Amino acid sequence: MVKATMTFPSDFRWGTATAAYQVEGSNTNSDWWLWEQAEGHILENQKSGLASNWWENAEADLDAAAAMGTNAHRLSLEWSRIEPQPSVFDNKALDRYRQILQAMRDRGIEPMVTLHHFSNPIWLTEKGDFNTRLVVDYFQRFTAKVVDTLGDLIPKWVTINEPMVYIIMRYLNGRFPEPQQKGWGAAFKATRNLLRCHAAAYQTIKERYPQAEVGIAKNMTILEPKADRFLNRWWARRASWIYNEAWWEMLVDGRFHRPFGRGIVDGLADSFDFIGINYYTRVYLKFPPRGRLWEEEWGPDAVVSDGNYGEVYPAGLFQVIKSVLKYDKPIYITENGLPDVEDRLRPSFLITHLREIWRAISFCFPVMGYYHWSLVDNFEWDRGWTQRFGLIELNPETQERKLRESGRLYGEICRSGSVSSDMTVQYAPELIDTIFPGKTPDLPRNKA
């Protein structure tokens, strides 16, 4: 082993991420609240309840985030709180968001705000949500209200979180609240309306705050062929284009690409100031897909996180960063994390993933920040409380909190702006020979 330090740029954003529905609690006007009440929708029929109690006391976790030394946090606003009935805006809810955003700024934590993170007002679902063009006007109106009341506090915006995940979970596999129409046709229609919503929101924010940085948070997953066969390879490439790249291409060109549709969208061309990447895992594909989009099986050496959530595959983070360099925009890792209730893997997960970012930065790739998912355990959608992503452990019944070892490590990383061999020895000693071996790799020799 050698003693060494991977140092990050001094203006790097060291962040964490959450979403409104997952942390706030009692979001009774949201489609998720309704969905939770019926049996069989959430694992073990769990309920979000008070969630992580952010509506009452986000400040407690923000104090912890500040003590950790983070300087950024990504959070979302719950549309159903701000506009509980069509065109009826709740000023008290907006005041509370103002307070939370101000609390962040007072603690030296820069907010990145997501406008749509998987949840809708119940009234919107009743009106057909993303299957009706009306949603674009509704979303634009909601965005305008937010920008007018809170925009002065928000330098960074995400319009839509993980549109592709949302489409799959909601319109194709039924794991998210049921829309009025389902299936491929509905999925493509919803995709087009999500993109129209993004374009409208982008323009609305930029008109009022030209300096604001606005983008989307795109789940980027490594898709590989299950066995090295021609059709599997072809399908993996095709699926990766549809799942990952097509979205950036549509945002660049300002038009729909097949299979999502055809036609130009007003305001969509070049409607992003940064690339937001949510990176979690890699999956394997087989052709024909037979019902499931991907195989939930991993290679023989794969390290897999709780509940068979996914393979821990740090190299994939470097790969996805590389894949978006051609767009020539700043890159933020807007989510990255794993479910790990025992904190068995998280310390090494942090070190190995941050090493990939450090490597990318050392090639002058413009990665400007990292937002770990998540600051605190929270309600994990259809998996309820069974999956724990927090740097802070939470008992949702008592609301007691405890900083995990990984939280302590992330604190050391954020405060020093670096990942060192000393930290690795302390928090993930099993990694030391891989990350800080101090050996020169054997190079191929010339034959004598």
Q: Give me the catalytic one of 110, 335, 356, 393.
A: 335
Which lies closer to ligand FCB via its Cβ, residue 131 or residue 281?
Answer: 281
- Residues 103, 144, 165, 172: which binds ligand FCB (CB under 6 A)? 165
Minimum separation from the CB atom of position 386 to ligand FCB (A): 12
Task: Specify the residue for token string 């960074």.
Answer: 156
Residue closest to 359 by CA, chosen among 419, 306, 401 = 419
Question: If binding is defined by CB under 6 A, does position 162 make contact with ligand FCB?
Answer: yes
Under the criterion CB under 6 A, does residue 119 sit at the interface with ligand FCB? no
Q: CB of 429: closest distance to ligand FCB in angstroms?
A: 27
Q: Which amino acid is at 121?
A: P
Report CA Rg, the chain. 21
Which C-beta is closer to ligand FCB: that of 139 or that of 279? Answer: 279
Q: For residue 95, what are the contacts with CB-CB under 8 A and spacing of at least 6?
A: none
Using rule CB under 6 A, residue 24 touches ligand FCB: no
Nearer to ligand FCB, 119 or 420 (CB): 119
Q: How far is the CB of 5 from ligand FCB (least distance, A)?
A: 30
Structure tokens at 111: 């907010």
| Candidate segments 50-58, 159-167, 170-178, 223-231, binder of ligand FCB by CB under 6 A | 159-167
What's the rounded Cα separation, in Å, for the pair 25 and 81? 11
Show contacts with ligand FCB in window 310-339 (CB under 6 A): 335
Spatial distance between the Cα atoms of 148 and 410, rounded to a whole number of angstroms: 35
Binding mask 265-294 for ligand FCB (x = CB under 6 A): -------------x----------------
Q: How far is the CB of 165 from ligand FCB (least distance, A)?
A: 5
The verdict on whether 335 is a catalytic residue reads yes
Residues between 383 and 402 that touch ligand FCB (CB under 6 A) = 389
Min. distance of Cβ 389 from ligand FCB in angstroms? 6
Q: Does 356 bind ligand FCB (CB under 6 A)?
A: no
CB-nearer residue toward ligand FCB: 225 or 339: 339
Does 19 help bind ligand FCB (rule: CB under 6 A)? yes
Nearest to ligand FCB of 381, 410 (CB atom): 381
Query: Minimum Å distance from CB 390 to ligand FCB?
Result: 11
Q: Which of 349, 270, 353 is nearest to 319 (CA)?
A: 353
Closest approach, Cβ 131 to ligand FCB, in A, equals: 22
Footprint (CB under 6 A) of ligand FCB, residues 362-381: 373, 380-381
Kindly identify the residues of this chain, within the stretch 130-149, that bind ligand FCB according to CB under 6 A.
none
Residue with CB nearest ligand FCB? Answer: 19
Q: Where are the alpha helices (DSSP H) in 151-263?
A: 163-167, 184-208, 230-240, 246-253
Which is nearer to ligand FCB, 15 or 151 (by Cβ)? 15
DSSP for residue 132: S
Residue 219 lies near ligand FCB (rule: CB under 6 A): yes
Reduce the DSSP state of residue 59 to 3 states and report it: helix
| Amino acid, res. 252 | V
Specify the stretch interacting with ligand FCB by CB under 6 A; choose among 45-53, 157-165, 182-190, 205-213. Answer: 157-165
224: tokens are 């590989």
E-only strand ranges, 226-299: 275-285
Cα angle, residue 288 at apex, residues 284 and 293 outer, rounded to 5°:
50
| Nearer of residues 220 and 409 to ligand FCB, judged by Cβ | 220
Cα 411 to Cα 69, 256, 347, 348, 350: the distances in Å are 6, 42, 11, 14, 11
Buried (b) or exposed (e) across 83-92, using 16+ Cβ within 10 A? bbeeeeeeee
Looking only at the bridges linking them, the beta strands covering 110-116 and 72-76 are parallel
What is the distance, to the nearest Å, from the Cα of residue 331 to the centroid of all Cα atoms in its chain? 13
Whether the upstream peptide bond of residue 259 has omega within 30° of 0, thus cis, is yes
CB of 75 to ligand FCB, least distance (A): 11
Question: How far apart are alpha carbons 222 and 269 in whole angstroms?
Answer: 26
What SS3 class is residue 295?
strand
Which is nearest to 284 in space by CA: 319, 324, 311? 311
| Number of residues engaging ligand FCB in binding (CB under 6 A) | 11
Nearer to ligand FCB, 6 or 75 (CB): 75
Task: Name the residues annotated as catalytic.
Answer: 335
The residues that touch ligand FCB, with contacts defined as CB under 6 A, are: 19, 161-162, 165, 219, 278, 335, 373, 380-381, 389
